[in-house]
Chain A
């Protein structure tokens, strides 16, 4: 089983739509969880950390289910500028400073 698996995508959605991405991770000892955003040919940038209780940042909501080893990202009211690849990222185990990156899910928001 791959360490971090994401929806393969691509997701093509109209402006204003709500879209959800899912991610599963294999290491039950992982303690840090993130969503990164990567624009084409650019570096990954942190979108948001994922907290155990779930967290929201404007139009973005992240959820963590430790029992199922599952992370989600919900984007409401999609904007053209949300078009990017979204990377699910998990630390590699208890106390580990290494991160394991999913392959990413590509989102295209269409006018």
Chain B
């Protein structure tokens, strides 16, 4: 089983619909992240959380919200989906680590979202 699991893997939805992408992890990490990836733009951070009571906006949080239900679960919501939110979404986790291995992030397999 994967250490970082994202569901669903693929989702097609319509403009204006509310959808939730879920992420769970078995790595025991406190830190969790949501990214989106678009062709030619690379990975961009949407939200991140360093523990259950800590939520922080990333580079592109507008139009998104998150919930950290437990140490192992971090979900991303699109309250009213729009076509330019069509992208590949990744969840990641990390722990502090030490030395050069500090800050390594581990990714889920991704959710491919299409908003029509």
Contact = CB atoms under 8 A, between A and B. Distances in A.
Interface of A: 31-34, 41-46, 49-52, 87, 91, 97-99, 101-104
Given A42-B109, A43-B110, A99 B90 contact: no
A101 B94 contact: no
Interface in B11-61: 31, 40-43, 45, 48, 50, 58
Contact of A43 (B45, B103, B108): B108
A49 B40 contact: no
A2 to B, nearest CB: 10
A103 B42 contact: yes
Q: Say which size band chain B's interface belongs to.
A: 20 to 34
Interface SS of chain A? loop
Contact of B107 (A41, A43, A49, A97): A43
B101 interface: yes
A32 B103 CA distance: 7
Contacts of B58: 98
Contact of A99 (B40, B41, B105): B105
A97 B90 contact: no
A50 B103 CA distance: 12
